[in-house]
Amino acid sequence: MIQGVHGVHLISINANGFHKSLKNEHSAREIPTCPKLIQLGFLDLVEERRQSDGKCFQHTLAFSLGLGS
């Protein structure tokens, strides 16, 4: 998560970091974060995960959305 131009928060899809990779070089991108996600506390979740053990938060999101088992 980065803050881009004009203060818009972006999700950065990249290969920077341990155990990260992209399908191909054209997969790298920055995606604006939906304001509703920000209202629901997504930025807090990202910061919390950054300060924790560094594990990804996919399972947390899936469970919160009722997609996890």
pLDDT of 3-59, one tens digit each?
A: 777 888 998 888 887 778 899 989 999 999 999 999 999 888 888 877 876 555 555
Which residue spans within 1-69 are E strands per DSSP?
Answer: 2-3, 9-13, 29-32
- Residue 56: the pLDDT is 57
Q: Which residue has the tokens 């009722």?
A: 66
**Residue 33: other Cβ atoms inside 10 A:** 19
Contact 11, 26 (CB under 8 A): no
Phi, psi of 32, rounded to the nearest 5 degrees:
-60, 140
Joined together, the tokens standing for residue 68 give: 């996890």
- Residue 21: the pLDDT is 87
